[in-house]
Amino acid sequence: MSDHEIIIDVKGLTKKYGEKTVVDDFDLQVPKGTVYGFLGPNGSGKTTTIRMVCGLLLPNEGSGTALGYDVVKESAEIKKRVGYMTQKFSLWEDLTIRENLEFVARMYQVENREEKVGEALDDLGLSARSHQLAGSLSGGWKQRLALAACMLHDPALLLLDEPTAGVDPKARREFWDTIHILADRGVTILVSTHYMDEAIQCDYIAYIAYGRKLIDAPSAELVDQVGIHTWRVEGKGLKALSRKLEKIEGVGDIARFGTALHITGTDKEKLRSSLEPYFDDPLLEWQERRPGLEEAFIHLMTGSEDNFQ
């Protein structure tokens, strides 16, 4: 882990609903001022995990601290210091941007309320629209407003639940620029997402599938830790090729990426020797490539068991 101060340190967190284990024996350490991504498919337990880690949801088992407070016994203290941006826009659409922020500031009993609201409007580029009704905003502007509301009470920890769902690419880029500015100021940020291009924006990534952490590591090191190798092939007859390769030893996962197939395996030499008979096919173009997060995710998911089956 990093030499930075550890803001979150939890072990064995488990959440059950009836007989279903939604999160199973989860451990995590998060350094201060980092952006920590929780990557996984819908329903994998990302949001439940984040809520437990930050004292917003009590675990059935496990222990640990967040911001120096016990996640079980002192959850109320953690909540005071957390900003939480939900996936669905949850502010008041019949109020203006400014009125929404003023109302949230009163709820948090923010001191110097007028000054703080003004700063939030300026920081998120909302000043010129401050008298616009929230309900009339586009997805990107609603996202900015929601983030401004989260930051009014100067939280040390920010939780973002699928923050850019339904937002255009330009607004997503601007949003992530803002997130990194906040992290540089010392705010620790937890993000749940299933977008690979967002995951690479994070300093660390934890893969979660069916309530279990499969791996967590610095984003730059994660693929190497998974230990996979990938070949890309384009051309004609890819469906037939895929069916043939599925039966060959050394070939692990086969996934369609646009007009190409990505073939992945854990043994580099065995994978190459398995594919070599097809290299001379004039209808196919082969290229060895460095695997990405999506290939790593597919590989990890292949060996995961759905705990809701």
In the predicted model, what is the mean pLDDT of the chain?
Answer: 89
| pLDDT attached to residue 261 | 95
Mean pLDDT of 147-171: 86
pLDDT, one tens digit per residue, over 75-103 is: 999 998 999 988 777 889 999 999 999 99
Report the pLDDT value the prediction gives residue 2, as an integer from 0 to 100: 45
Give the 3-state DSSP-derived string for the chain, with helices as H, strands as E and coil as C: CCCCCEEEEEEEEEEEECCEEEEEEEEEEEECCCEEEEECCCCCCHHHHHHHHCCCCCCCEEEEEECCEECCCCHHHHHHCEEEECCCCCCCCCCEHHHHHHHHHHHCCCCCHHHHHHHHHHHCCCHHHCCCEHHHCCHHHHHHHHHHHHHCCCCCEEEEECCCCCCCHHHHHHHHHHHHHHHHCCCEEEEEECCHHHHCCCCEEEEEECCEEEEEEECCCHHHHHCCEEEEEEECCHHHHHHHHCCCCCCCEEEEECCEEEEEECCHHHHHHHHHHHCCCCCEEEEEECCCHHHHHHHHHHCCCCCCC
Backbone angles phi, psi at 38, to 5 degrees: -110, 110
In tens, the pLDDT along 261-289 reads: 999 999 999 999 999 999 999 999 999 99
Q: How many residues does the chain have?
A: 309
pLDDT surpassing 70 at residue 126:
yes
pLDDT tens for residues 204-259? 999 888 888 988 999 889 888 889 999 999 999 999 999 999 989 999 999 998 89
pLDDT in tens, 39-54: 887 778 888 998 898 8
- Domains, the chain, ranges and CATH? 6-223 (3.40.50.300), 229-290 (3.30.70.330)
Q: What is the pLDDT of residue 308?
A: 44
The highest-confidence range among 54-63, 140-149, 262-271, by mean pLDDT, is 262-271
How far is it, in rounded angstroms, from Cα 215 to Cα 213? 6
Contacts of 107 (CB under 8 A, 6+ apart): none
pTM confidence score: 0.83
pLDDT in tens, 12-31: 999 999 988 999 999 999 99
3-state DSSP assignment of residue 267? coil
Mean pLDDT confidence for 111-116:
90
* pLDDT of 309: 45
- CA atoms of 167 and 8, how far apart (whole Å): 29
